[in-house]
Amino acid sequence: MTTYKDAGVDIVRGEAFVEGISGLVKKTWSPEVKSDIGDFAALYSLLGYSMEHPLLVSSTDGVGTKIKIAIEMNRHDTVGIDLVAMCVNDILVKGAKPLFFLDYLACSELDATQGKAILEGIAKGCEVAGCALVGGETAEMPGMYQKGDYDLAGFVVGIVDSDRLIDGTDISAGDAVIGIASSGLHSNGFSLIRKIIEESADLALDTDIPELAAPLGEVLLAPTKIYARTVASLIRDFNVKGMAHITGGGIPGNCVRILPGSAAMRIKKDNWPLPPVFKLFKEKGNLSEEELARTFNCGIGMVAVVAEHDVDELLLRLQGLGETAWLIGDIVPRRAEDPAFLWVGQA
C-alpha cells in the first residue's frame, strides 16, 4: 500500500513541527489576535483602533537568493528576520502600523531543526516590528525543490488613518532628503553577489576580509534592518512628506516612486560613505557606478523627505534612536521633460 509519506510528504512530522513552534508564535501575539494555532484562518480584531477613516495597508515579499547563502553556510536564523523586514518596511513608508504577519515556507522535505531556526527569525522580526505572527504555511514539495533547499514568502497587514497616510503628494521643491543607514546588503542583489563570488579566485563565504571585520558569509547574512520603531517616532512628531524603502532598484529606482510630477530628487553621493562591503563587490565584480546604484542600497536602507527646517531636529532624533543618518539631498522643481532623479558627485 502506497502512502503520502512514501511520496516524500510526512504529515505527522509536519504536525509535530507546528506544535513545536507554537510557543515562538504565541510570544508575538497581542490581545487583538482572536484565533488559535491550527485554525483554518487567523482572526484579528480592529476594535481597539479608533480612527476616523482607517485604511488597511498590505505587502508581500520574499528573501530571494540570499537563502542560498544561508543554505551554503547552514545558518538559518537570520533569513526569517529578512522576510519580516522586507514586508514590514514596505508598509512603514505609508505611515502604517504593522498589525499581523503570515509566512510561507516551502521545501522538499521538512528539516525540523532548520525550520525552527527559520521560524525563530520570523518571530524575532515580528517582535521587533511590533506585529503578531498569526499563521503561515509549511509546504513539503518533493520534486519541486532539491533536498536541503527551501523558499520563503511573507505577507503583512498594517493600518493607518487616511488623514495620516504618507504618499508623497506634499513633496515640493526645497524639501530635504534624509538617508537612514542600512545594516548591510539587506535582501537584494544576491544573484549578482553569488555570481561575483563564483567567478572570483579569492572570494569565498569563509574568506576573512580585514575591512569587513568578519568572514564574508557572516557579513552577507546580516539581517535586513527593520525600521518600525524609528519610523513610528518620526511620523509621530514630524511632518514626514514621503518615505522610500530602498530595495531592488536602489536609491534611484525606489525614490522616484514617491515623487509627484512637479518634483525631482537630487542626491549628493558624497554626503555619506559607501560601506566597505559595497566597495568590495564593486571592485571584484567590476561594476559601474550605475550598476552598483540600481542593484544595491549602497548603505541607505530608508529615505525620508521632510521640510528643510526640520532637518537638524530630525537628525538629532535619529541619533537618539540609535540610527546613523545623513542629509543626502534635496527636492528641486521638475518640468515634464526633466528626469525625476538626479545624481550629484561620485559614490
Q: Where are the domains of the chain?
A: 5-164, 176-344
Q: Using CA atoms, how far apart are residues 28 and 128, in angstroms rounded to an integer?
A: 10
pLDDT given for residue 7 in this prediction: 66
Q: For the whole model, what pTM was predicted?
A: 0.95
Q: What angle do CA 61, 204, 251 make, to 5 degrees?
A: 40
H-assigned helices in the chain: 11-20, 22-26, 66-73, 79-92, 112-129, 190-199, 216-220, 228-237, 250-255, 276-284, 289-295, 311-320
Dihedral sign (CA 133, 180, 151, 77): negative
Average pLDDT of the residues in 238-251: 97
Top CATH class of 5-164 equals: alpha beta
The band of 9, judged by pLDDT with boundaries at 50, 70 and 90, is: confident
Q: Report the alpha-carbon distance of residue 6 to residue 1 in Å, rounded.
A: 10
Q: Please provide the DSSP assignment of 182-236 as one string.
A: -SSSTTSSHHHHHHHHHH-SS--TT-EEGGGTEEHHHHHTPPPPP-HHHHHHHHH
pLDDT range class, residue 347, cuts 50, 70, 90: very low
Whole-angstrom Cα distance, residue 13 to residue 333? 60
pLDDT in tens, 64-120: 999 999 999 999 999 999 999 999 999 999 999 999 999 999 999 999 999 999 999
Q: The domain 176-344 belongs to what CATH superfamily?
A: PurM-like C-terminal domain (3.90.650.10)
- Establish whether domains 5-164 and 176-344 are of one fold: no
